[in-house]
């Protein structure tokens, strides 16, 4: 479980297995409002190629299904009121290799994530 401090926090996941589905990380106090500061989930170090990690062509697709296009995608779906599940298809095969449960955020937005 991850808990940030006062103000804007960056929650960094550096390898997909840190947040593998079934073993997912849980962020308990994600903040996404201007009053308290904007938290971010930093996934820039994740990828199959250490020279060109997830940020190489990765796309935030909202709540859409993964397309198995060969490109890395990140989607977010609601689990409950104020609880979101961020899933990453790191290798572009249409299956999530990464999952992070996020508590406290409002409607998910691409700005939540550093890809």
Block means of pLDDT (10 residues each) for the chain, 115 residues, are 88 74 86 79 72 62 87 90 91 88 85 87
pLDDT of 50 reads: 52
The whole-angstrom separation of Cα 39 and Cα 27 is 10
Q: Which domains does the chain have, with CATH numbers?
A: 10-114 (2.150.10.10)
pLDDT of 47 reads: 62
pLDDT of 106 reads: 77
The model's pTM is 0.83
């Amino acid at each position: 479980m991850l808990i940030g401090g006062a103000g804007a926090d960056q929650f960094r996941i550096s390898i997909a297995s840190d947040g593998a589905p079934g073993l997912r990380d849980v962020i308990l106090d994600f903040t996404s409002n201007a009053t308290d500061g904007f938290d971010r989930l930093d996934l820039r170090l994740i990828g199959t190629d250490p020279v060109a990690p997830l940020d190489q062509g990765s796309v935030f697709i909202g709540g859409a299904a993964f397309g198995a296009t060969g490109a890395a995608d990140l989607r977010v779906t609601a689990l409950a009121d104020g609880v979101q599940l961020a899933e990453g298809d790191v290798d572009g095969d249409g299956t999530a290799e990464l999952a992070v449960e996020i508590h406290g955020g409002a409607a998910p937005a691409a700005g939540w994530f550093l890809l």
